Amino acid sequence: QKTSFHRCQTMDFKNGYAFFRLPREGVGGETLFANQLSQDELDDLCTKGATLTYGQVKRPAPSRFTPAFVAYDKKVLKFDAYFMEEVAISAEEHYRIRQVGIYYYLEDDSMCIIEPKVKNSGLLQGKLMRRHRVPKNVHGDYYHWKDLNVGIDLTIYGRTYRLVNCDSFTKVFLESQGIVVNPPEELVSDPYTEQRQMPVQKRIVPTGPDPFRQFLAYDTKVLRFYAIWDDTNCAFGDHHPCIIHYFLADDTVEVREVHKRNDGRDPFPVLMRRQRLPKIFVDKNKNFPSCVLEITDHEVQEWYSPKDFAIGKTVTLLGRTFFIYDCDKFTQDFYREKYGITDFQPVDVNKKPLEKVPQVIPPYNGFGIPEDSLQNCLSLFPKPPRKDIIKMLENNLKVLRYQVALESPVPEDKNRRFILSYFLADDTISIYEPPVRNSGITGGKYLRRTKVTKPGSTPENPIYYEPSDFTIGSTIEVFGHRFIITDADEYVLNYLERNAESFPEATVQSIRDHFLPRKVVVETTSSGFPKKDLDDLIVEVQKELKLQEPFNTRQFHEAFHHCDTEGSGFLDKTRFLTLCDRFNIPTSTILLKKVRWKGCCACG
């Protein structure tokens, strides 16, 4: 019993060159005497003397050695064979003949068995035995190509194969090795397979309609109609495009609704499941109950058939009315062949395009600015109106402030003063009312920062107030309230003069005329009264005021501004003495002589 099947190495490299050498040992380490010198050759070499004249005769070089796996690479012996397999569980067959191909690989003496696959055979076919060396007997011998021939029985793993033929290469190879190849035999066929391949006897067609014959003749053949289901009579009804399938195999009908993207309906696949649809019912007693029972053939006088469907026809299926307007090519060929119909002109059911209704912007509701409210009408998800970023960056923190008075018939509102701020960054306006003690009116924010439209502008084309609209004495209407501009900051004058080319001349001149008296007072005071004497007079007045009770300077200034209704910065003698008596200010004769009767509010 061999346990080692190693082969001797015959290829090697020496000094960088590949060379072959004869194997000294066979498979498993057996000594090969064919590649060694015999005893006679050894004795001849010992007794033979050297030739001095011409030297020893050169022998021809031995033939180049080629390994078996190189000489027989991709050389395979192929035999056609069959074996008999018992069938014990079938009443139609007792045995089965299975045809196989036996392949013998010369390079390593391995074998494999492959059975060609047969469609619908129900057997596990293909490679029945993997490629390997096949044992021949219990003594450890293996099958060799010398054991194979045509017309013999070959037993492999308990199954007997009958070799009946071989290919031309196998026959030439065996004959070249001195083996007489037996004549080929006929390959036996499986009787059950031949029986199945025999033509089936035709059945006698019955006189009446045969459902089975109809199924075999029209299986997978379907008539397709394109229809419109009109349910506009119902609430929220519409025209639904549908496809009607008529199955010729069993005369059943199926209706599918064609769904489109974003059509607002659930994409269920089938509107009416596949079933036979009754066309005319049998007259029956009205008192006979029938609500949930299935419809039988005895209750239906006529079912729907292909002749009931045609282009331009209206059919009622289970209470739904469908208008057929087209069909596919197979349906046209079917009706042309069976019924002789040739007119298949489709009906145009496309709706006429509706006239585009112009979008009407609803009137402004008064909440927010018109541009912001308009976004609710333009899109489902409104976006804030776009802002002029360049303008906001250029005019950041630039505010024009004006003093305004409320124009109102209410007497309490005549003395109210407000600060109107105009923001140049986004053309918005805010109004603030400075608090006045004991006035009975809570001051603070009167109008938050927002855009204000001019009187007469429409929500479709709003016109907002601009800096050119603010002049001294002009009236500003803010959401039904009228304000009169009485004063402005010096920054307003400076800004208008720096950008005089962007504003009307009348606006700039109005602000200049308003600030002109103040400049005259400053010039008169500085030129007619020396600065040292003016400072001494102020110090003397302050000493007199310190001798009195605690003096509220803020109320004193507010009273002066209140009396100066024209905003000129001047008071006459009578009003000045009245205010002094009101606040218990001593009016010394010496001081009165020094102080001019017409003085600036700041000096007073």
- What percent of the chain has pLDDT above 70? 83
Q: What is the pLDDT of residue 498?
A: 92
Distance, CA of 446 to CA of 601 (rounded, Å):
28
Q: Which domains does the chain have, with CATH numbers?
A: 12-45 (no CATH), 68-197 (2.30.29.170), 211-339 (2.30.29.170), 397-524 (2.30.29.170), 535-602 (no CATH)
Paired sense of beta strands 399-407 and 17-20, if any: unpaired
Conformational region of residue 567, where left means phi above 0, alpha means psi within -120 to 50, and beta covers everything else? left
Residues 6+ apart with CB under 8 A from 382: 372, 375, 376
> Rounded to the nearest 10 degrees, what angle do helices 573-582 and 553-563 cross at?
150
Q: What is the pLDDT of residue 601?
A: 36
Residues 6+ apart with CB under 8 A from 472: 485, 486, 487, 488, 510, 511, 513, 514
Q: What is the pLDDT of residue 603?
A: 38
Distance, CA of 197 to CA of 191 (rounded, Å):
10
**How many CB atoms neighbour CB 261 within 10 A?**
5
**How many CB atoms neighbour CB 99 within 10 A?**
17
- What percent of the chain has pLDDT above 90? 40
**Cα separation values, 520 from 53, 487, 497, 576, Å:** 152, 17, 19, 20
Contact (Cβ atoms closer than 8 angstroms) between residue 400 and residue 421: yes
Note the pLDDT tens digit of each residue in 113-170: 999 998 888 888 999 999 999 999 988 899 999 999 999 999 999 999 999 999 999 9
Handedness of CA 40, 45, 46, 49 (dihedral sign): positive
pLDDT averaged over 10-residue windows placed end to end, the chain, 604 residues: 80 86 78 70 70 62 79 92 90 89 94 92 90 92 93 93 94 93 91 82 65 88 94 87 94 93 86 91 68 71 91 91 94 92 90 82 77 83 88 92 92 89 94 89 91 84 90 91 92 91 90 77 54 66 66 69 68 73 65 48 38
Strands across the sheet with 95-105, in order? 126-132, 110-115, 95-105, 76-86, 159-166, 153-156
Smallest Cα–Cα separation from 505: which of 495, 496, 514?
A: 496
Distance, CA of 245 to CA of 252 (rounded, Å):
8
Contact (Cβ atoms closer than 8 angstroms) between residue 239 and residue 228: yes
Per the structure block, which two tokens stand in for 37? 């010198």
Q: What is the pLDDT of residue 238?
A: 87
Note the pLDDT tens digit of each residue in 77-123: 999 999 999 988 888 888 999 999 999 999 999 999 999 998 888 88
Distance, CA of 212 to CA of 30 (rounded, Å):
75
Note the pLDDT tens digit of each residue in 241-283: 999 999 999 999 999 999 988 888 888 889 999 999 999 888 7
Q: What is the pLDDT of residue 444?
A: 92
Q: What is the pLDDT of residue 14?
A: 87
What one-character DSSP code corresponds to residue 108? Answer: T
End-to-end CA distance of the chain: 139
